[in-house]
């Protein structure tokens, strides 16, 4: 699938259970953090449309996050500049001041280190250039086959990847291998399981029978 007109550079394909979308690094990528009480992303798209907001051509789950101090695998920076300082030693994907998506491959950073960027969020494990899990990602989870979500960077594009739901699934190593095959030199695992959702123009592309409301999304705009 190649989109026409302004979206002509977006490419979609599927390899086994993995859905992949490639966008040029010139496309606008935004973080929509802390969705109200959590939402399925098809409902996020419908809500934005009802509110007359600018519609993203693509929505993908980012990470699981609770404002009330509940379970979280990551800290996050609001896209409007408000910072939530809750780092758990993971890896960060962020959008720099020029609008380019980057992945920081070093541990020990905190969300406050990215306050000058447009947005940033933390997750684990790092998939590429090598598989590296932070302390809050249990090693056995990375070794198990689960539905997965990932973001990767090539020389001139961003790759978004979401698997189908159970019984489909990948280990983090297999996901890393497939992201490398897609051309990524750097990639980061995001939230998975029932959170894995890929929505293009209001339609969810990945098969996911049991879905979880998510609290943050990555949005692609033409």
Checking if the pLDDT of 6 tops 60, the result is no
Q: Which residue has the higher pLDDT, 80 or 187?
A: 187
Checking if the pLDDT of 205 tops 70, the result is yes
pLDDT value at position 21? 98
Q: Which residue has the higher pLDDT, 100 or 86?
A: 100
Q: Give the Cα separation of 208 and 193 in Å (integer).
A: 9
Domain spans, the chain: 11-221
pLDDT value at position 139? 67
The DSSP-derived string for 95-143 is: E-TTS-EEEE--SS--GGGGTTSSEEEEES-EEESS-B--TTS-HHHHH
**How is the chain split among helix, strand and coil, in percent rounded to 5?**
15, 35, 50
Contact present, 180 and 141 (Cβ < 8 Å): no
Closest CA to 124 of 141, 111, 137: 137
Checking if the pLDDT of 3 tops 70, the result is no
Checking if the pLDDT of 71 tops 60, the result is no
| DSSP bridge pairs for 61 | 217
pLDDT value at position 142? 84
Q: Which residue has the higher pLDDT, 216 or 133?
A: 216
Checking if the pLDDT of 212 tops 80, the result is yes
Contact present, 90 and 134 (Cβ < 8 Å): yes
pLDDT value at position 92? 93
pLDDT value at position 76? 76
pLDDT value at position 67? 54
Checking if the pLDDT of 1 tops 80, the result is no
pLDDT value at position 210? 87
- Residue 156 buriedness (CB in 10 A; 0-12 / 13-18 / 19+): exposed
Band of residue 9 on the pLDDT scale cut at 50, 70, 90: confident
Average pLDDT (133-153) is 83
Q: Give the Cα separation of 139 and 133 in Å (integer).
A: 7
pLDDT value at position 5? 45
**Whole-model pTM above 0.75?**
yes
Average pLDDT (38-47) is 95
Identify the helix (H) or strand (E) that includes residue 187. strand 186-189
pLDDT value at position 166? 87
């Amino acid at each position: 699938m190649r989109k026409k007109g302004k979206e002509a550079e977006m490419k979609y394909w599927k390899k086994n259970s993995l859905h992949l979308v490639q966008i040029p690094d010139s496309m606008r990528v935004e973080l929509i953090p802390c969705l109200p009480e959590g939402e399925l992303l098809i409902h996020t798209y419908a809500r934005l449309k009802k509110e007359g907001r600018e519609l993203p051509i693509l929505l993908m789950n980012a990470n699981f996050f609770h404002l009330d101090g509940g379970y979280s695998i990551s800290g996050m920076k609001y896209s409007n500049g408000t910072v939530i300082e809750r780092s758990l030693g993971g890896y960060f994907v962020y959008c720099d001041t020029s609008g380019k998506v980057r992945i920081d491959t070093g541990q020990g950073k905190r969300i406050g280190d990215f306050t000058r960027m447009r947005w940033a969020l933390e997750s684990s494990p790092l998939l590429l250039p090598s598989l590296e899990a932070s302390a809050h990602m249990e090693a056995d989870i990375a070794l198990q086959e689960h539905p997965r979500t990932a973001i990767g960077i090539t020389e001139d594009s961003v790759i978004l990847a979401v698997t189908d739901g159970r019984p489909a699934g990948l280990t983090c190593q297999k996901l890393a291998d497939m992201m490398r095959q897609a051309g990524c030199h750097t990639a980061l695992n995001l939230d998975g399981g029932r959170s894995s959702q890929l929505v293009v123009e209001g339609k969810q592309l990945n098969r996911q029978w049991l879905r979880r409301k998510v609290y943050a999304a990555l949005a692609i705009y033409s």
